[in-house]
Amino acid sequence: MRIIIAGGHGKIGLRLAARLKSGAVGIVRNPAHVADVEATGAEAVVCDLERAGADEVTAILQGADAVVFTAGAGPGSGAARKDTVDRAASVLLADAAERAGVRRFIQISSMGAGKPPAPGRDEVWAAYIRAKTEAEEDLRARDLDWTILRPGRLTDEPGTGLVRLAPEVPPGSVPRDDVAAVVMALLEAPGTARRTLELVSGDTPVIDLIATE
């Protein structure tokens, strides 16, 4: 399989690329990040999704089996970049997927998306939740085999391979290792298409859980 990863140098993107190795193509904005992606065994393509046009991104997606959107503006970014990365870049990638004929699209969103931001949170957090919500809404309206994955609070702890995945789960955290493992499983689980699933650590092995979805 040839899997395109938007956000190829992100913490989830690199973990996913390491699992896919030569089957992955990581999209990175900064040419300095190419070597890190290639060190996983994956291919790297330089493309700034905040500035690229649909034709450029469509060309990257040609011949792909699936697309994973795991890009994000990241900590320290302001409200404007939450919109241009977490929403607009996802919309651009989905446009390109339709044009390139790539039906499978997995979007990494966030627990809390789809609801108004919690009271008391700052403006940047509210912008982030709005951007993720609007990106989800755009994807649901498309004729793609999409799956939206909403992880809880992300950690860098070693993965356990034990998770809880369902349309709605209690708030919690999940290692990025386990998010990458779940994405791998979703790529091989066509029955999860057109579903929105929340993810936290739990007590069910990833492989067993996906088999029931």
CB atoms within 10 A of CB 50: 14
CA nearest 186: which of 105, 86, 77, 90? 105
Query: Is residue 145 classed as helix, strand or coil in its secondary structure?
Result: strand
Is residue 71 within 8 Å of 10, Cβ to Cβ?
yes
Catalytic residues: 128
151 Cα distance to chain centroid: 10
Residues making up the chain, counted from first to last: 213
Annotate 66-128 with DSSP letters as a single string: EEEE-----TT--HHHIIIIIIHHHHHHHHHHHHHT--EEEEE--TTTTSPPPTT--HHHHHH
